[in-house]
Amino acid sequence: MLESDRAYFASTRVPALFGAGVRKLWPLPNREHAVTAGGTLCRLPSWLVGDPPRPIVTMRHPFRPNRNSSCQRCSELVSAMPTTPGPYEQLHDTLLATAEPGAERDGLLSALRRGVPFEMRMAGQAYQVVRQYGELVRLLAGRSAAEELADAHIMVDLMRLTDGDRAFLMLRPREGSTLILPMAPVPTVSRG
């Protein structure tokens, strides 16, 4: 796989998360800072975040880097921190590690790398979710393997996805290998 294939994932990575806080009792631009237990990331003097008088007031939303209203130094520091993979990237790498190599896995991995939306994704007890949400009647192969899992009292991650003229059912038990089965695609509504 080419590294450039993962370009979509870069856009879904989540920046490091901090609370936001502003200095209320200071006659300077009221920019939001990334707040940590020890003060602000940009290291405003500790007496400014002391108690009392608590000049840093924390906001209800997280710190949002690179906004006009955000502290530039805090933004730089947050942007330099490692980002967290988004859900598509996490699932992609999980399938690489847990699903059997083959055409179905390749097809699903390709769809994830292009951000094709899930039809359905949920987790639950296999005997409760596989028959109800798996749409097993659409399976083109592997019905018996899915039926076997459908009776099990184990936690399973279920996902369906249609990518053009192909569709997939993914059943991932907490332990063991992941099933990726071909399904009949859901017809896409033509726009035009």
Q: Which residues bind Zn ion (CB under 5 A)?
A: 33, 40, 42, 71, 74
CB 34 within 8 A of CB 72: no
Residue closer to Zn ion, measured from CB, 42 or 81: 42
Residue closer to Zn ion, measured from CB, 41 or 183: 41
Name the minimum Å distance from CB 27 to Zn ion.
Answer: 17
Name the minimum Å distance from CB 41 to Zn ion.
Answer: 6
Residue closer to Zn ion, measured from CB, 49 or 181: 49
Residue closer to Zn ion, measured from CB, 15 or 173: 15
Name the minimum Å distance from CB 66 to Zn ion.
Answer: 12
Name the minimum Å distance from CB 59 to Zn ion.
Answer: 13
